[in-house]
Structure 1
Amino acid sequence: MKTIEPAEHIKTIAEYYFSVKLAEVARMNSEGKNVISLAVGAPDRMPSQKTISKLCEAACRPDVHAYQPYTGIPELRKAYADWYGRIYGVELFTDEVLPLIGSKEGVLHISMTFLNYGDGVLVPNPGYPTYTSVSNLLRANVIQYDLMEDDNWQPDFEALEKMDLSQVKLMWVNYPNMPTGANASAGLFEKLVAFGKRHSIIICHDNPYSFILNDKPMSILSVPGAKDICIELNSLSKSHNMSGWRMGVLASNPQFVRWVLKEKSNIDSGQFKPMQLAAVEALSNPLEWHAEMNSIYAGRRLWAEKILDLLQCTFDKRQVGLFVWGKLSDKVADSESFIDDILYNARVFITPGSVFGSNGDRFIRISLGSSEEKIQEAYHRINAYLSTLQ
């Protein structure tokens, strides 16, 4: 009998870092080690009460348990469009909106819709690993572009213009940036739109962090003419404490949306209607609700920054989003071995920056998704461990 092998594209990717590492943390916890995780960007707070109430109320109805439209229910598409107008100042029509089972799903759908074998994809380094792994799964040509601390983690457009862009189809960008916390600006978005139009490259902007510790949420679609060449992904996971609900959205011009829908309709069968109705409620949360969440995150960030100080990291206090990104001292050899040392000896799990690319190797990332009390306890554990080394 001949040996059975997986497809070649499966051999080119590794299991997602957090899938592997969280299994290790779970094993340590089963041994009674009580690890504090400051690694994953999963909010620990509840969605708004009216969101939960709508879910419970709708789930009790007898008419909501069947398959739903592939485009999402009309109420949800309108709610997303209204939300974009109210928050970002972007006018969207319902045929420019496509609800998703989380924005991570959107990375796959966009890639499957537009990429042929061997097409080029510009992927940021450091950046969200899924951009690379999905491109590899489709056997596209991943072309990394550098984000550097000295440039405030923004693309070097002069360097991009010197690349061979003839086969490039997509460019992934993400602001507020994950993992670095660098914020967006109107000028950056204008440059990206112009670059995409100049080279006929679809600019895919991943925008799930714009609400968190950020005074001015922005959308790349606010740039005049951006819809012609841009697709934006957004999500309720971080902004509305709904990461497990898998509620995301894609926004672009109607033609791009129709093409993505054509692909998507062959993959899933819609989302549970009560969850969609609850998402409509979430999208109407008052600004005061978000302000309360940000007040909580601000308190957590102070302790996360204390941990970075304790670890002799440097960091930019202007960064925004759900994480704090810090640069290790020159005394540290590499981020992964350093983080493993903290995990095994202080029982605190922090993310090494190398997970996000080679330009993140001398950095670490702390999530604000745990309570202030847990982040304080993590600080004290690390401090106690470091004291033993002196």
Structure 2
Amino acid sequence: MIEAALRLQTIEEYYFSKKLREVRLLQANGKPIINLGIGSPDLQPPQKVITTLCNSFNDAQANQYQSYQGLPELREAMVSFYRDQFQVNLSPTTEVLPLMGSKEGIMHVSMAFLNLGDQVLIPNPGYPTYASVTNLVGAEPVFYKLYEENNWLPDLENLEKQDLSKVKIMWINYPHMPTGAVATEAFFIRLVAFAKRHQILIINDNPYGFILNDSPRSILSIPEAKDVCLELNSLSKTFNMSGWRIGMVLGKSDYINHILKVKSNMDSGMFYGVQKGAIEALKCSKLWYVSLNNVYEERRKLIWQLADSLNCTYDKNATGLFVWAKIPAFLKSEEFIDLLLKEHDIFIAPGTVFGSQGEGYVRFSLCATTDIIEEAIARIK
């Protein structure tokens, strides 16, 4: 028997990969499971995006290897998007790199900047992949706790009391997943100053900026942020293109070149038709965002009703694709979701998936039709 690499001892299979096998098995055995656990958009991308993809199959270069840096017109569309939506000016030739989804970017950034023994500040609760990738590259995760009473923002004063001499990277994610908290401009200004004092590279993972959020914000809009910050973004949630795998990393040209060294040795460029479709998506007018959020607003009101029926509490000012809710104090998160799955055939995510600070919370997804959410409410009642 050939043994696996030692690095695999530092991680486990992704929670949703395991849990969805259980859910699928229940469905195969006839259980009418309602899945409100996963943030995979069920809505369609803009029609012009699909049309452009289909038309691209007739282009002569459609089936060839593509540039590691993406089509020039895709990079132009990405920086135009950042200029129009965030008032951030970037060079399309040197300060943006298209990715096959921002999750790929987490690995590429980590491989480009982290050495064995480097420390990485990781939010708790937060996206589990930050820690998994940190472990895979041989760096050390250092979790910083987020609290509801501080609007799920890092306590920078407390962090400065710690030994930060080995910290190379700090992951942040605003609007925050799973809680839906939003960072203010004032906080970003403080964070950039913190990063400059301690020579830490801040990476803001920003795929939820346009979902039920009136004030989309990029950390790159802060003066001098490019010196110490990168930003990841994605078309998955904003344009319902999660399966297309289109993301981007943006920032200072030197940093982008480091990431390109990694990326160019790991893939052969994004499919041509996907890039052409992405260009059209990034050109969408304000009407697209309004219509998208009208759907999610209706769904969120129903999820609030579902949470109410389960005696959960939540913040109506939170943004994003989920509702983060506090459960009754006498139950643990995983006990709560297992009970819901067993008694009502409804699956939601336990807060502990996202770290120890998620204990006592659960996450509901808005990626289900109103009919499905109403059926879930009816089952509880």
Mark yes or no: TM-score above 0.5. Answer: yes
How far apart are residue 331 of structure 1 and its match? Answer: 2.1
- Identity fraction in percent: 52
Q: Please, which of 45, 48, 55 is the counterpart of residue 47 of structure 1?
A: 45
Q: Does 1:346 align with 2:344?
A: yes
Q: Please, which of 20, 28, 31 is the counterpart of residue 22 of structure 1?
A: 20
Q: Mapping of 1:346-365 within 5 angstroms?
A: 346-365=344-363
How far apart are residue 62 of structure 1 and its match? Answer: 3.0
Match of 1:147 in 2: 146
Please tell me the residue identity of whatever aligns with 1:78.
E
Match of 2:246 in 1: 247
How far apart are residue 69 of structure 1 and its match? Answer: 0.5
Deviations 1:20-66 (A, max 9, x none): 01111111111111211101111100000100000000012232110
Gaps of 5+ in 2: none
SS at 1:231 equivalent:
strand
Asked whether the equivalents of residues 311 and 327 of structure 2 are also in contact (C-alpha less than 8 Å), the reply is: yes
Instruction: Determine the C-alpha separation between the residues in 2 that align with 1:311 and 1:67.
Output: 52
Q: Does 1:201 align with 2:200?
A: yes
Deviations 1:300-335 (A, max 9, x none): 000111111111111111000000000111121x10
Asked whether the equivalents of residues 125 and 354 of structure 2 are also in contact (C-alpha less than 8 Å), the reply is: yes
SS at 1:232 equivalent:
strand
Match of 1:378 in 2: 376
SS at 2:226 equivalent:
helix
Match of 1:388 in 2: none
How far apart are residue 6 of structure 1 and its match? Answer: 1.0
Structure 1 moving runs of 4+ over 6 Å: none
How far apart are residue 192 of structure 1 and its match? Answer: 1.2
Deviations 1:242-270 (A, max 9, x none): 00000000001000000100111001110
Deviations 1:145-204 (A, max 9, x none): 010011010001111001110000000000000000101210111111111111000001
Instruction: Determine the C-alpha separation between the residues in 1 that align with 2:374 and 2:176.
Output: 25
Q: Does 1:180 align with 2:179?
A: yes
How far apart are residue 12 of structure 1 and its match? Answer: 1.3
Please tell me the residue identity of whatever aligns with 2:225.
A
SS at 1:171 equivalent:
strand
Q: Mapping of 1:1-390 within 5 angstroms?
A: 3-94=1-92, 95-332=94-331, 334-383=332-381
Query: Normalising by the residue count of structure 1, what TM-score does the alignment of the two structures yield?
Result: 0.96
Instruction: Determine the C-alpha separation between the residues in 2 that align with 1:35 and 1:59.
Output: 38
SS at 1:124 equivalent:
strand
Instruction: Determine the C-alpha separation between the residues in 1 that align with 2:198 and 2:370.
Output: 46
Instruction: Determine the C-alpha separation between the residues in 2 that align with 1:135 and 1:372.
Output: 38
SS at 2:371 equivalent:
helix
Instruction: Determine the C-alpha separation between the residues in 2 that align with 1:105 and 1:63.
Output: 25
Instruction: Determine the C-alpha separation between the residues in 1 that align with 2:343 and 2:143.
Output: 35
Please tell me the residue identity of whatever aligns with 2:10.
T
Instruction: Determine the C-alpha separation between the residues in 2 that align with 1:312 and 1:228.
Output: 46
SS at 1:5 equivalent:
coil
How far apart are residue 4 of structure 1 and its match? Answer: 2.7
Please tell me the residue identity of whatever aligns with 2:141.
V
SS at 1:250 equivalent:
strand
How far apart are residue 139 of structure 1 and its match? Answer: 1.5
Instruction: Determine the C-alpha separation between the residues in 2 that align with 1:322 and 1:60.
Output: 36
Deviations 1:213-247 (A, max 9, x none): 00111100000110111010000000000000000
Instruction: Determine the C-alpha separation between the residues in 2 that align with 1:146 and 1:301.
Output: 27
Instruction: Determine the C-alpha separation between the residues in 1 that align with 2:57 and 2:352.
Output: 43
Deviates more, 1:6-15 or 1:197-206: 6-15
Asked whether the equivalents of residues 61 and 272 of structure 2 are also in contact (C-alpha less than 8 Å), the reply is: no
SS at 1:132 equivalent:
helix
Gaps of 5+ in 1: 384-390
Asked whether the equivalents of residues 348 and 382 of structure 1 are also in contact (C-alpha less than 8 Å), the reply is: no
Instruction: Determine the C-alpha separation between the residues in 1 that align with 2:267 and 2:191.
Output: 32
Please tell me the residue identity of whatever aligns with 2:238.
S
Please tell me the residue identity of whatever aligns with 2:24.
A
Please tell me the residue identity of whatever aligns with 1:238.
K
Instruction: Determine the C-alpha separation between the residues in 1 that align with 2:105 and 2:370.
Output: 32
SS at 2:212 equivalent:
coil
How far apart are residue 93 of structure 1 and its match? Answer: 0.8
Instruction: Determine the C-alpha separation between the residues in 2 that align with 1:370 and 1:192.
Output: 36
